């Protein structure tokens, strides 16, 4: 893992440097990949390296397409490529058999078809990427602790199925992934290759929601939970970033000043892109429970439900202070526009009085079984959201 931060800026940076040394040494216990004589040594993983110039070695190489970013801003975060090992052969347990998670612990919830999976943040905080296949779809589930951002992507790009690893670089303090087929570089929140053979290629987002464990287990008691049997020795359950989400602390290795419209570590729900981007402050959303906004001219209903622990607060993930899970949806079923308000244990629509959960599923009433279409959104810090969407507006 990269770093542990304390609650003040100067002390935080000193703690980060110490953590890089300690945790970088731990990462070196992962056996390095073996290369055959006369071939390029490939970071560990499932995919073969194509015969192309590696952006890991030189993102600005003349043989590669022109990068989409200033390559000098691709900052060395400490560990080498695969020093933080992505999980390539994930194992799962049935939710009902899991006795090592606590009620408010955050998990990344992903559903495709009838395949429902939970990826505990206590594991993702140490690995950052899981290469998985869900309902036949190759997906990458990603979590960046420095931005507290959870995103999932379809791993298919044209005729390739990509496998992703942690490059060890940061861009806007965000995780930079690399694919093992071409060694192109992909900032997580950007969701596209910014350097390398695949420069300009965008990944399709897959909806993922951060939920408290007990809420997800209640909804999917037969679902699959990423196992702690990862093949790596890590102190799962411990948060090596204790105190990092303190609003008064500074982002790590952010090489430009954060937009001053809000404190850098204000939690926001980010929606849309470009000139249509919108940031909804989480405190405001939690206070109201439901807010209705327009994104690119389309109505979106955004929900917040308290009860999930912050993964970046306490030294134990499960003991973090309470924040809120969020969801964003198109408020339509067919031609019918619905409006909502928070209610005990979820949300209700004004039109039928049906009760809905934070996943946008009607669980009681006339509309039981119906689902609202999800809208791509990301829970993250203000500094990260505005760095990638500088034209964003703020919902006041």
- Sort residue 350 into left (φ over 0), alpha (ψ -120 to 50) or beta: alpha
In whole angstroms, what is the distance from residue 213 CA to residue 89 CA? 23
Per-residue model confidence (pLDDT) at position 224: 98
Does the residue 34 lie in any domain?
no
* Domain shared by 105 and 218, yes or no: yes
Which residue matches tokens 């559903």?
A: 111
Give the pLDDT score at 37: 35
Q: Does residue 220 form part of some domain?
A: yes
Alpha-carbon distance 254 to 256, whole Å?
6
Q: What is the DSSP letter of 31?
A: P
Lookup: tokens for 316:
């134990």
For residue 199, being part of any structural domain is answered with: yes
* First-residue to last-residue Cα distance in the chain: 36
Q: Could you tell me which residues come within 8 angstroms of residue 194 by beta carbon, excluding any fewer than 6 positions away?
A: 67, 68, 69, 171, 185, 186, 187
pLDDT along the chain (396 residues), means of 10: 35 41 38 34 67 92 96 94 96 97 97 96 98 98 98 96 97 97 97 97 97 96 97 96 93 90 97 96 97 96 97 97 97 94 94 96 96 96 97 94
pLDDT for the residue 10: 38
**Is 222 part of a structural domain of the chain?**
yes
Based on the domain organization, do 55 and 179 belong to the same domain? Answer: yes
My answer on whether 119 and 70 are in the same domain is yes
Q: Cα(163)–Cα(74) distance, rounded to whole angstroms?
A: 21
User: 303, 290 in Cβ contact below 8 A?
Assistant: yes
Assigned token pair, 146? 């420095």
* Residue 169 belongs to a domain: yes
Tokens coding 230 = 């990862």
Return d(Cα 222, Cα 212) in angstroms, integer: 16
Domain span at residue 330 reads 267-394
Both 130 and 222 in a single domain? yes
The whole-number pLDDT of residue 384 equals 97
Q: Which two tokens stand for residue 207?
A: 């909806």
Give the total number of structural domains in the chain.
Answer: 2
Query: Of 121, 146, 115, whose CA–CA distance to 12 is shortest?
Result: 146
> What does DSSP assign to residue 247?
T
Q: How far apart are CA 386 and CA 264, in angstroms?
A: 9
Are 273 and 363 in the same domain?
A: yes
Is residue 12 included in any domain, yes or no?
no
Please give the Cα distance from 39 to 367 (Å, whole number).
59
């Amino acid at each position: 893992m990269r770093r542990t931060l304390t609650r003040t800026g100067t002390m935080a940076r000193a703690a980060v440097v110490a953590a890089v040394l300690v945790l970088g040494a731990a990462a070196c216990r992962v056996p390095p990949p073996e290369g055959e004589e006369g071939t390029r040594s490939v970071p560990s993983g499932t995919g073969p390296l194509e015969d192309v110039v590696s952006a890991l070695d030189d993102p600005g190489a003349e043989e590669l397409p022109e990068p989409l970013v200033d390559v000098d801003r691709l900052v060395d975060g400490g560990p080498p490529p695969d020093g933080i090992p992505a999980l390539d052969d994930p194992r799962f347990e049935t939710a009902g058999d899991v006795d090592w998670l606590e009620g408010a612990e955050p998990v990344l919830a992903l559903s495709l078809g009838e395949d429902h999976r939970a990826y505990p943040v206590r594991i993702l905080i140490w690995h950052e990427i899981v290469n998985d296949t869900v309902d036949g779809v190759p997906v990458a589930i990603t979590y960046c602790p420095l931005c507290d951002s959870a995103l999932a992507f379809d791993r298919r790009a044209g005729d390739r199925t990509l496998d992703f690893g942690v490059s060890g670089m940061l861009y806007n303090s965000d995780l930079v992934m690399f694919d093992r087929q071409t060694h192109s570089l992909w900032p997580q929140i950007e969701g596209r290759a910014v350097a390398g053979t695949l420069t300009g290629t965008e990944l399709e987002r897959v909806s993922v929601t951060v939920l408290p464990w007990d809420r997800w287990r209640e909804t999917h008691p037969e679902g699959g939970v990423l196992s702690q049997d990862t093949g790596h020795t890590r102190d799962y359950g411990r948060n090596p970033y204790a105190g990092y989400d303190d609003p008064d602390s500074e982002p790590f290795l952010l090489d430009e000043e954060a937009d001053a419209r809000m404190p850098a570590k204000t939690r926001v729900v980010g929606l849309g892109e470009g000139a249509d981007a919108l940031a909804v402050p989480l405190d405001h959303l939690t206070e109201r429970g439901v807010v209705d906004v327009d994104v690119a001219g389309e109505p979106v209903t955004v929900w917040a439900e308290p009860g999930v622990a912050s993964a970046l607060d306490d030294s134990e993930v499960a003991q973090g202070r309470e924040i809120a899970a969020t969801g964003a949806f198109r408020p339509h079923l067919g031609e019918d526009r619905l409006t909502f308000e928070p209610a005990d244990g979820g949300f209700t629509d004004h039109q039928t009085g049906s009760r809905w959960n934070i996943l946008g599923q009607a669980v009681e009433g006339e509309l039981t079984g119906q689902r609202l279409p999800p809208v791509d959104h990301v829970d993250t810090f203000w500094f990260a959201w505005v760095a990638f969407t500088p034209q964003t507006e703020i919902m006041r």
